[in-house]
Chains A and B, each alone.
Chain A
Amino acid sequence: MSVFSDIFFGGLFQGSLYAMMAVGLALVWTTIGVFNFSHGVFMMLGAYFAWQLVAFGLPVVIAFPLAVIVMAGAGWILQASVVRPLIGRPNIVLVVVITTLAAGSLIENGALTVWGPRSKQLPSLIEGNTTIAGVGVSLHQIAIIVITPLVLAALWSFLNRTRLGLALRAVAQNEDASQLVGLNVTALYGLAFAIAASLAGLAGIFMGGYRFMNPSMGADPLLKALIVVVFGGISSISGPIFAAYLIGFFEAASNYYFGLYWTPALLFLVLIATLMVRPEGIFASRSRGLA
């Protein structure tokens, strides 16, 4: 029984982090049609902003939300500087890969200069540990498992229940038609990036609370988010969310049965095999669009 709960909690926890990261990536892809390779760096930046604010003496309840808001601004700025000028170029997908990679390297090295290479740690969301179903888990992890679905549900209802969210979904589907109903397409692109960066920043805060932070901490989560997004299909945000949890459970189970070393290789193998059978991902619908 304990094995099962171990895998269950581990998968739920990892899945939450992956979902938080992947949703932003999918949001940007569906609205703008580009992949943001600085998404992992956003995660790092969010964690460091939060750390800095805490270091300034702000209480966690103010510092963490403030960092998330600052990240929205950072996302907007990144979009305006390295993505928006390229819109309309025929090879935009490729060029944005490079500009966001370069921007990521710029920010990462900037963080290294500002904060130094020494590892840092954020305070936990909630201190303490508990035992559930025979498994010892920290309250921080429990908080993440609870908060993530709430945040994602809020995002879902924003997209599906508000006019602004409707506008964001519309831009994802047809840019010309969006302009012709009077949508501010560039602002909506900025908004997509801002939301994505905020979510990445929040994921960074989650991560910084149970693991040491360093300027390159975003590289691996970006990779995982990419896998999640491919696996779940990049045409929606619900697909990646399901995929995130699925991969979380898969990893937890594989770690247990096959060991840490083989898990990533297995994961990639499953991924490639999946794509051979279902090129659009397992939860994909046929077109680009948010839902």
Chain B
Amino acid sequence: MSESPILSVEAVTAGYGRVTVLHDITLEAGRFGNVGLFGPNGHGKTTLLRTISGLVAPKSGHVVFDGKDITGLSARAIVATGLIHVPQGNKLFPDLTIGDCMALGAYSPRARPHESENREKVVKLFPKLAERWRQRVRTLSGGERQMVSIGTALMSHPRLLILDEPTLGLAPKIKDELCAAVMDISRGGVPLVVVEQDIEFLLELSRQLFLVDHGVVKTEIRPGESIEHSEIMAMYFGH
């Protein structure tokens, strides 16, 4: 159970312009399976993910993915390593069809050979998408868009999947559907790093949790350390 971490963030400082959001943050992920990140809004979770996937260049520190230093690589180069980030929200490509999005997901040379195999996976996971293959993203519901987001990422043939609040703002029924799909992906062998507000889901999904607060990891919960929902709630609000 103590393999080397698939992703490690070492003393990363990052932000936008003069505003620093992440202060010397360090965490290791993937040694014990899926990783969950939680914490109050506006404290750097999304920035952390954006830094990992190369959308934000860190001011200092390192990001290492599967033994390879990916700090400062372009987002495109990082996608090529198999680290795939599903961004928050469901803006996506409003005027592309679902089929277009899937084709885009398989854009990188690494994913191209697996295109048809991955498409089958996506269709199996989200049968709803197959029904609306030629429909534009803007005409879809919030839950369906989230499916397109995740499906697009799966088309990129991920070796590690980063999900930023996959269930944000969804109705309970569709949310359960998505949660089940995410669990399925995990069982299929793709390790996950998930930011999520729904602690129940996070506890079910991941074996290692990080509380991100004020741009640093405030608490790390490792497997075996049993933890109650109430304790997490206390961490959330106890500052």
Binding site for B on A (CB under 8 A): 163, 166-167, 169-170, 173-174, 176-185, 285, 287, 289, 291
From A163, A169, A179, name the one whose CB has the most chain B CB atoms within 10 angstroms.
A179
A170 to B92, CA, bound (A): 9
Q: How close is B97's CB to chain A, nearest CB, in angstroms?
A: 10
- A182 interface neighbour in B55, B94, B96, B156, Cβ under 8 Å: B156
Is there an interface contact between B108 and A182, defined as CB atoms closer than 8 Å? yes
Q: Mark B174-207, 1 if CB is under 8 A from A, else 0.
A: 0000000000000000000000000000000000
- A163 interface neighbour in B91, B92, B107, Cβ under 8 Å: B107
- A177 interface neighbour in B80, B87, B95, Cβ under 8 Å: B87
Is there an interface contact between B87 and A182, defined as CB atoms closer than 8 Å? no
Is there an interface contact between B107 and A182, defined as CB atoms closer than 8 Å? yes
List B87-119 residues whose CB lies under 8 Å from chain A: 87, 91-96, 100, 103-105, 107-108, 111
**CB of B138 closer than 8 Å to a CB of A:** yes
Is there an interface contact between B79 and A181, defined as CB atoms closer than 8 Å? yes
5 contacts across the A-B interface (CB closer than 8 A)? A167-B104, A177-B91, A180-B79, A182-B76, A182-B108
Q: In the complex, which range does the number of interface residues on chain B fall in?
A: 20 to 34
Q: Mark B37-73, 1 if CB is under 8 A from A, else 0.
A: 0000000000000000111000000000000000000
A287 to B85, CA, bound (A): 25
Which residues of chain A are near B104, meaning CB under 8 Å?
166-167, 170, 178, 181, 183
**CB of B163 closer than 8 Å to a CB of A:** no
A8 to B104, CA, bound (A): 42
A182 to B74, CA, bound (A): 9
Is there an interface contact between B95 and A285, defined as CB atoms closer than 8 Å? yes
**CB of B21 closer than 8 Å to a CB of A:** no
**CB of B8 closer than 8 Å to a CB of A:** no
Q: How close is A31's CB to chain B, nearest CB, in angstroms?
A: 13
Which residues of chain A are near B80, meaning CB under 8 Å?
182
Q: How close is A10's CB to chain B, nearest CB, in angstroms?
A: 35
- B96 interface neighbour in A173, A180, A185, A285, Cβ under 8 Å: A173
- Given the interface pairs A180-B75, A182-B107, A184-B76, the reply to whether A170 lies near B93 with Cβ below 8 Å is yes
Say what secondary structure dominates the interface of chain A.
helix
Is there an interface contact between A169 and B103, defined as CB atoms closer than 8 Å? no
Which residues of chain A are near B74, meaning CB under 8 Å?
179
**CB of B152 closer than 8 Å to a CB of A:** yes
Contacts A170-B96, A180-B79, A287-B94 known; 8 new A-B pairs at CB < 8 A: A166-B100, A169-B96, A178-B104, A179-B75, A179-B79, A180-B85, A182-B79, A287-B138
Which residues of chain A are near B87, meaning CB under 8 Å?
176-177, 180
- A169 interface neighbour in B54, B95, B107, B152, Cβ under 8 Å: B95
Which residues of chain A are near B217, meaning CB under 8 Å?
none
- Given the interface pairs A174-B91, A176-B55, A176-B87, the reply to whether A181 lies near B96 with Cβ below 8 Å is no
A184 to B108, CA, bound (A): 10
Is there an interface contact between A182 and B75, defined as CB atoms closer than 8 Å? yes
Q: Mark B131-156, 1 if CB is under 8 A from A, else 0.
A: 00000001000000000000011001
A185 to B74, CA, bound (A): 10
Specify the chain A residue showing the minimal Cβ separation from B111.
A182
Is there an interface contact between A179 and B55, defined as CB atoms closer than 8 Å? yes
Which residues of chain A are near B152, meaning CB under 8 Å?
181
Which residues of chain A are near B54, meaning CB under 8 Å?
179
A176 to B84, CA, bound (A): 13
- Given the interface pairs A176-B87, A287-B138, the reply to whether A181 lies near B105 with Cβ below 8 Å is yes
Which residues of chain B are near A287, meaning CB under 8 Å?
94-95, 138
From B93, B95, B104, name the one whose CB has the most chain A CB atoms within 10 angstroms.
B95
- A173 interface neighbour in B53, B84, B93, Cβ under 8 Å: B93
Is there an interface contact between A179 and B96, defined as CB atoms closer than 8 Å? no
Which residues of chain B are near A285, meaning CB under 8 Å?
95
Is there an interface contact between A174 and B92, defined as CB atoms closer than 8 Å? yes
Which residues of chain A are near B103, meaning CB under 8 Å?
163, 166
